[in-house]
Chains A and B, each alone.
Chain A
C-alpha cells in the first residue's frame, strides 16, 4: 500500500487550483462585492434542519445570482493558467496592509508591517483566525521600543524583531508577536514603537530611571521634588509634573502646573514625556498607599 506522502504526491498535480500558491483574491473587488451583497441580507434565525436546496434559495433571492457571477469571473482568473506543483508547507494565514500572520508549529507569528496603521487592522487579522487579540502599537521611550509594554490576559507571548536584533527605526525591521494557536479568551497588549521626532511617549507608567532611559540609574522615588529636579537639570532635561491621586488599589495622574508644586513635595515616579523632557509624578506628602522604589 502506498504511503500517505506518496499518495499526496500523486494527487496534488490533479488539483485544478494548485496547492502551492495562495489564490490571493480575498482582498479583491469581487470578494468585496460578494461580501457586501451577503451582509445586506437579513439574518434569519438558525434552523437545525438541513439547508434548503440551492436553487430554491436562488429563486428566493435573485441577487445571489449576480454575486455568484462575480465569483465566476474571479475563478476564471485563477483557473485559467494551469497550476501544478507542490506546497512547501509554509503559508500566510492572514495578511492585510498592517500585519501579516503566519502559522509556525503551534503558534501564530504576527509581523507588524505598519506600526502606524489603524489598530483595528491588527485586531481584524487575529479575529480572522478566530482569536480575540487586541493590539495597539504606541510610541514609547527608548528602553521600551520593540517590547510588550502593557498586557492583559495570560499566556506565553513573545515579541521579537525580524530580522533578529535589527533597529526598529529602519524600514526593513519589524516587530513580530507570537501567540499560541490554541489561545483561549481575550488578550490585549500594547507594543512599543520608536517615537517620531517631537512625538510624546505613551508609556507614562514606565520609569525614566530604567537602563537606556533619560534618568537611567537615578534614585527618584520617595525623594523631594527639589532633589529630583537637581538631577533632572544636571542631565540637561526639563521637567513637567502630574499629581498622583490614589484610589482603591489604583491611582490616576492629573496635570499639574509647575508653580503649584512645592519644593518639598514627594516624587513617586518619573516618566519620560519625550526627548529632553520628563514628568515627575508627585504628592504633597509621602503617601503610605504608594509603593516607593526606595522602600
Chain B
C-alpha cells in the first residue's frame, strides 16, 4: 500500500506533456524511418532511376493516404514494404507506356544509374540465371539477400503464414540451385563467382 501510494504522489509532481501525435507526425516518422529502405528496394528492382523514382513517390503517397491502416510497432516498416511491392507490380504493368513517354530522360538517368554487373562476367552469369526465375521466386530470395528480412518479416509483409513463406523459400532456393547447376555456374565460398571450367 505504501509503495502504491508513494508512486501516485511521485507521479503528480512531475510535468508530463500529453503525447498526441497526429497523422502528419506519424507519417513523418515512418517516412523518415523507411525512406532509405524504399529508395534501395525500388532501385534494386527497377530498370531505370525514373521508374524507381516513380515507385518511391507513389509508395509514400499511398502510405500517406492510408495512414489509418498503418500498423503499430515493427510491422509499420513491413507494411510500407508491402505497399512498395504493390506499387512496383502496378508500375511494371504500365512500364511500356512509361518508356515511350520518358525515353530520353531515362537514357540520361541510366548513365547515372550504373550497373555493376555489366563489368563483371562472373556476376553476369549469376544475374542471368537469377533472371530466369519467376518474379515470385526472385522477390522472395531478394527480400532475404538484399533487404535482410527474415521469414517472419516476409510473412508479415506478404500477408502469408510463416510456414507458407518457409515452403516457398525452400522451393525458390531449390529452383535457383538447379538453374545454377544447369547453367554450369559454380561458386566459391567467398565473393568470387566464376563460371565452370574457370575455377581456380
Chain A interface (Cβ within 8 Å of chain B)?
1-2, 4, 6-17, 19, 22-27, 31, 34-35, 38-39, 41, 43-44, 46, 50-51, 53-55, 57-58, 64, 67-72, 74-84, 86-87, 89, 93-94, 96, 123-125, 127-132, 134, 150, 152, 181-184, 186, 188, 190, 204-205, 247, 249-253, 291
Contact = CB atoms under 8 A, between A and B. Distances in A.
16 contacts: A1-B177, A8-B144, A10-B187, A15-B142, A23-B36, A23-B39, A26-B33, A31-B35, A38-B57, A39-B64, A70-B53, A79-B113, A82-B116, A129-B33, A130-B30, A182-B74
Interface string B55-96: 011101110111111011111110000000011001101100
Interface residues of B, number: 94
B54 to A, nearest CB: 5
B54 A54 contact: yes
A41 B61 contact: yes
Majority DSSP secondary structure for residues of B touching A: helix
Contacts of B52: 71-72, 75
B36 A41 contact: no
A33 B135 CA distance: 33
Given A17-B40, A68-B53, A11 B142 contact: yes
A205 B12 CA distance: 9
B146 A15 contact: yes
A72 B109 contact: yes
Interface in B119-163: 119-120, 123, 126-127, 130, 141-142, 144-146, 148
B53 A71 contact: yes
Contact of B174 (A1, A6, A12, A31): A1
Given A123-B21, A250-B9, 9 more contacts: A9-B189, A68-B53, A78-B39, A79-B114, A130-B72, A130-B75, A130-B76, A134-B17, A249-B9
